Amino acid sequence: MLSVRGLNDKIMGQVLVRDKARARAAKAVVRGDLPLGRILDGDCVEAMRSLPGASVDMIFADPPYNLQLGGDLSRPDGSHVDAVTDHWDQFDSFAAYDKFSREWLTEARRVLKPNGSLWVIGSYHNIYRLGAMLQDMGFWILNDIVWRKSNPMPNFKGTRFTNAHETLLWCSMGEKAKYTFNYRAMKTLNDELQMRSDWVLPICGGQERLKKGGHKVHPTQKPEALLYRVMLATTNKGDVVLDPFFGTGTTGAVAKRLGREWIGCEREGLYREAALERIELALPLDESAVTTMQSPKAAPRVAFGSLVETGWIAPGTLLTDKKGKLKATVRADGSLISGTDTASIHGMGAKLQGAPSCNGWSFWHVEHEGQTKPIDVLRQLYLLATED
C-alpha cells in the first residue's frame, strides 16, 4: 500500500508525463489544422472536440450565467425590461449546470497550450461554482478581475443593491505554468500606473449594441473595450483565441482589430449571422499601431488608454501639438510613436519639447468634428457618455 508521500509522488509523476505530452502535441499542431476565422456550429463541447489538443493560446469564455430569472421584469413606468430569459440560460438544477460546466471546461483544458490561459466571466449566480471547478481541474487562478460597470442597469424593484459588476477569472494551466502577460502595455494603457484588478468600463450600448427590428440581437453582448483589454494583456499578435460561447462575435471583432486569430463556437443561427456581418466590417489595425510599448504622474480621472480601447480615439490616429508642428501616432496600448521614439502621451510631449514634463491631455490635439481640439475634450465627452 502506497504511503501518502508515495501517492503524491505518483500523482505528480502522472501530471509531469501529461504536461510533456501536451508540450509535444502543441509543437505538432499545424495552423492549417485549425478552423481559423470560422464559427463552429452546434454545441460548444462537440465543437471543441473537433479541435486538436494543445492548439489554442487563449480562451475567453462567457458561458450561460444560469440567472434563474422567473417572470417578466418591468420598470417603474410599466415598460418591459429586456432581460435574459433565453432557453440557453436555463438549467433544471445546479447539478445540470455543473455537469455542463465540467464538460466544456474539460475540453477547454484539452485544447489549450501548456502556456495558454483561460478567461471566464460570470456573475454571482455562477462564478463561485466555476471557480471551484477550475481549481479542482488543475487551473491556477492568477487574478479575479472586477468589471465595474460605469452605467449599470438599476435594480427596478428596489429589493437589493444594484448589480453593478461582473467577475472575470484569469487562469493559467497550473501553478508553475508559463503564461503571457503584457505588463508594460497594461501600464501604458493606464497612463503609466500599474493596471489594477478593478476595471471601470461602460456596458455595451450606442452604435456598438447590435439590434434587429429595434430589439437587442443578444441580451448580454459584451463591450469591445473589455475584450480589447483582455486580449492586449494576455495574447500576442498572431495568437489563436477561442471563444466557446461566441454570441454576436465581440471576441472575433476585437481579435481582427488586434491582429489575433480567432475561432468561435455558437449554436444559435441568429447570433452566428450577426457575428459574421459584424466581423466583416471590423477594420484591422496596421502593423505600427498594433505594436505595443516594450519599455516604459498624476493620473487623470480617465486614462488615455480608456479612450483608445473604447474607440473614442482609434489606434493609428495622428495627434499634433496646437500649431501642428509636433506629431505622433496612437498605438493599440495607448502609447504614442513619433519616428523611432515611443512613450505615453505625457512622456512623448515632454520628449519632443525637450521639457522635463508635459500634460499630454492639453498638449496633444486631434481632429474632431472638423476642428482641431485638445484630446482632453474627448476625455470630457467620454465621461459624459459613461455617466448616462
Place of cell 454576436: 248
pLDDT at 346 over 50: yes
Cα–Cα dist 139/171, whole Å? 6
Across all residues in the chain, what is the average pLDDT? 85
DSSP letters of 188-233?
HHTTTSPPPSEEEEPPS-GGGS-EETTEESSTTPPPHHHHHHHHHH
Bigger pLDDT: 31 vs 312: 312
Q: Does residue 149 carry a pLDDT above 60?
A: yes
Q: Is the pLDDT of residue 155 over 60?
A: yes
Cell, residue 323: 500649431
Phi, psi at 234, each rounded to 5°: -130, 15
Residue 22 is predicted with a pLDDT of 56
On the question of pLDDT at 25 being above 90, the answer is no
Are 281 and 257 a contacting pair, CB within 8 Å? Answer: no
CA–CA distance, 248 with 274 (Å, rounded to integer)? 6
The per-residue pLDDT for range 255-271, each reduced to its tens digit, is 999 999 999 999 999 89
- The domain spans of the chain are 31-295, 299-385
- pLDDT for 335 equals 96
Residue 84 has pLDDT above 50, yes or no: no
Cβ neighbours of 27 (radius 10 Å): 8
Between 11-15, 238-242, 359-363, the lowest mean confidence (pLDDT) is in: 11-15
pLDDT at 209: 79
| pLDDT score of 143 more than 50 | yes
pLDDT for position 87: 58
| Three cell numbers, residue 372 | 482641431
**Model confidence band, residue 65 (pLDDT cutoffs 50, 70, 90):** confident
**In this predicted structure, what is the pLDDT of residue 6?**
53
Q: What is the pLDDT of residues 220-242, one digit of tens each?
A: 789 999 999 999 999 999 999 99
Q: State how far the alpha carbon of 84 is from the alpha carbons of 65, 68, 69, 90, 381, in Å.
A: 9, 9, 8, 10, 30
Q: Which pLDDT belongs to residue 9?
A: 54
Residue 288 confidence (pLDDT): 72
Residue 160: what pLDDT? 84
Q: Which CATH number applies to 31-295?
A: 3.40.50.150
pLDDT surpasses 60 at 295: no
Nearest CA to 279 among 59, 40, 37? Answer: 37
Please give the pLDDT value at position 273: 92
Instruction: Report residue 210's pLDDT band, with 50, 70 and 90 as the boundaries.
Output: confident
Q: How many CB atoms lie within 10 A of CB 198?
A: 10
Per-residue confidence (pLDDT) for residue 99, from 0 to 100: 94
Q: Letter for the amino acid at 145?
A: I
pLDDT value, residue 165: 94
